[in-house]
Amino acid sequence: MLLKKFSFSLRHFATIFTYSSIPKHGLLCYHKIHKSKLSSVARGKFNTLTSKDIEFFSSLLGSSGIIQNVEELDSYNVDWMKSHKGKSSLALRPRTTEEVSEILKYCNKQILAVCPQGGNTGLVGGSIPIFDEIIVSTSLMNKVIHFDDNTGVLQCQSGSILETLENFANEKGYTVPVDLGAKGSCHIGGNISTNAGGLRFIRYGSLHGNILGLKVVLPNGEILDCMNTMRKNNTGYDLKHMFIGSEGTLGIVTEAAILCYPKSTETAVAFLGCNTFQDVLSTAKMVRQMLPELLSSLEMLDNQSADTLRDNLKLTVPIATHPFYVLVEISGTDAQYNEQKLNECLSLLMEKNHISDGTIATEPSRIKAIWSIRERITEALLKEGHGYKYDISLQLSDFYKIVEVMRERLGQKVTRCVAYGHLGDGNLHFNATSRTFDPEVLALIEPFIYEWTSERKGSISAEHGIGYKKRDYLHYNKTNEAINLMKSMKALIDPQGILNPYKVLP
């Protein structure tokens, strides 16, 4: 529907592919795996698997619960970015908290290293084994346990796929507070363990606020029941927070209680073209000020991201070419009110020349088509060859400067330098690509980008976590005292270091 007073060019969306879930195992292509820096660490003093161990796991989980077939294992050993291939010869697929407990009890006793894995969509090498760690996958732990219609609290197993939970909540008139491009594959347990941010952060905030309770299995097999469905519960240390964002290094999350919110019935998405980054900032400011009660997403992409979509996925933006694009989503309960407020805001943006073209969608299929432009950039970049991916938080005044600095620094050594991200919460995704891995390019980017970000008090990992790829850079955001305390917590909870070794901590 064209918002009446608004004179934007509305085009047909025939060229836009609708978003489809990213296949979990379909994108792997092993000849492209780049070893890069991922083989520089020494294997810990863990035992190796024996036939006795396999016997134990087989008797515990049955044949459907253990994977030893080499081809099948490949998809568990390789990360989404295809940047590393682990050497695990065993993936376990428990169905219950108790089975996870038995697995970890046994591994701790036998000193066998374990890598917890959800949907394996992580982008920092946290979800795949570095050596021969046993993979504990939550893929069969996908049951909804309870839904409270009065409060919107959804209790489920940690292997539930995010999109499945969203559909479930939608049927009850609710929505899950986290949404991301990998929703068709990622698990809520993976989201919790990475403290995933995503596209709704601006409205619902962090999972630290929206996860009310957790059940976690500790490395020694003990079940830590921090399940809670109350909004308010100030009873001493809130231990669940230790597991939100600790990337599987302290425990395996098996169940969660998620606070869902009443679903807005009326949504509209505006896709706007800006000529300068200053216009992007002015647009963002005005949208926030004029639509405070309606704004549910505020995202941006540059034209180099749009070029990548066009070249690699044949996906085109629905407006005239601009250096920058801003995606605004508003959600409420009254379509007319939405229309009026959005019209007022966009008219003023046009009047002030902060935007010079745009289109609006209110129909679900067109909203989805516009969203796919933003959500599929990651996939488009993957097709380019090797990706150098960065996920940083910056003050908005610094937000796009780093991209210009990096373009200058990298010149023709890369095939692309693109940026997109969660403008509403200051989270920039800077990505460079080359046909194959080039150590010279990597050396030009790292540690420079982390130093640059840290000097400006930004975060070197806004939402993807530290995993394996960034562990050597943790000190750019954490003091020595903080890192030492993190190490002490790890030693206390996992004295043998069996759980997700080589990750997060330097």
- Site residues (CB under 6 A) for ligand FAD? 22, 80, 115-123, 126-127, 138, 158, 180-182, 186-187, 189-191, 193-194, 196-198, 247-248, 252-253, 378-379, 463-464, 467, 500, 503
Sign of CA pseudo-dihedral 94, 100, 105, 109: positive
- CA 329 from centre of chain: 19
429 contact choice in ligand MLT, ligand FAD, none (CB below 5 to 8 Å, kind-dependent): ligand MLT
**Can the peptide bond before residue 116 be classed as cis, meaning omega within 30 degrees of 0?**
no
What residue 245 binds from ligand FAD, ligand MLT, none (CB within 5 to 8 A, per partner kind)? none
Output 189 or 318, the one with its CB closest to ligand FAD: 189
- With contacts defined by CB under 6 A, how many residues of the chain interact with ligand MLT? 4
Amino acid identity of 423? Answer: L
Q: How far is the CB of 52 from ligand FAD (least distance, A)?
A: 26
Residue 155 or 431: which CB sits closer to ligand MLT? 431
One-letter-per-residue 3-state SS of 422-441: EHHHCEEEEEEEECCCCHHH
From the list ligand MLT, ligand FAD, none, which binds 189 (C-beta under 5 to 8 Å, kind-based)?
A: ligand FAD
The alpha carbon torsion through 370, 123, 489, 486 (nearest 10 deg) reads: -90
Q: Could you tell me which of 157, 122, 140 has the C-alpha nearest to residue 249?
A: 122
- By CB atoms closer than 10 A (0-12, 13-18, 19+), residue 377 is buried
Cis check for the bond before 447: say yes or no (omega within 30 of 0). Answer: yes
Q: Which residues contact 371 (CB under 8 A, 6 or more apart)?
A: 19, 269, 327
Q: Return the number of the residue (65 or 332) whose C-beta is nearest ligand FAD.
A: 65
Per partner kind, with CB cut-offs from 5 to 8 A, the member of ligand MLT, ligand FAD, none near residue 248 is ligand FAD
Residue with smaller CB distance to ligand MLT, 93 or 469: 469
Out of ligand MLT, ligand FAD, none, which partner does residue 186 contact, by CB within 5 to 8 A per kind?
ligand FAD
Closest to 91 in 3D by CA, of 109, 119, 117: 117
Q: Which does 120 bind (CB under 5 to 8 A by kind): ligand MLT, ligand FAD, none?
A: ligand FAD
Task: Return the residue of 84, 183, 215, 429 that touches ligand MLT, per CB under 6 A.
Answer: 429
Q: Which is nearer to ligand MLT, 66 or 186 (CB)?
A: 186
- From ligand FAD, ligand MLT, none, interface partner of 191 (C-beta below 5 to 8 A by class): ligand FAD
Give the pairing type, strands 416-422 and 427-434. Answer: antiparallel
Residue 358 contacts which entry, ligand FAD, ligand MLT, none (Cβ below 5-8 A, type-dependent):
none
- Angle (CA) 310-315-319 rounded to 5° is 90
Q: Minimum distance from CB of 10 to ligand FAD (Å)?
A: 28
| Region for residue 497 given its phi and psi (left: phi exceeds 0; alpha: psi -120 to 50; beta: otherwise) | left
Three-class DSSP category at 274: strand
Question: What is the Cα gyration radius of the chain?
Answer: 23
In the bound complex, what is the minimum distance in angstroms from residue 287's beta carbon to ligand MLT? 19
Picked from ligand MLT, ligand FAD, none, the partner binding residue 127 (CB below 5 to 8 A depending on kind) is ligand FAD
Nearest approach, Cβ of 181 to ligand MLT (angstroms)?
5
Q: Is 378 in the site for ligand MLT (CB under 6 A)?
A: yes
- By C-beta, is 3 or 192 nearer to ligand FAD? 192
Nearest distance from C-beta of residue 252 to ligand FAD, angstroms = 4
- Nearer Cβ to ligand FAD, position 354 or 422? 422
**CA neighbor of 311 nearest in space, from 379, 390, 358, 368:** 379
Strand pairing class (144-148; 153-157): antiparallel
Q: Give the pair of three-digit tokens for residue 60.
A: 């515990």
Pick the closer one to ligand MLT by CB: 142 or 378.
378
Dihedral over Cα of 175, 261, 461, 135: its sign = negative
In whole angstroms, the minimum distance from the beta carbon of 5 to ligand FAD comes to 33
Residue 94 interacting partner from ligand FAD, ligand MLT, none (CB closer than 5 to 8 Å by kind): none
Specify the residue, 116 or 458, whose C-beta has the smaller distance to ligand FAD: 116
Q: Which residues have a Cβ under 8 Å from the Cβ of 163 and sit 6 or more positions away?
A: 21, 183, 184
Ranked by CB distance to ligand FAD, the top (closest) residue is 190
Binding residues among 388-407 for ligand MLT as defined by CB under 6 A: 391
Closest residue by Cα to residue 33 from 420, 372, 387: 387
Instruction: Catalog residues that contact ligand MLT under the rule CB under 6 A.
Output: 181, 378, 391, 429
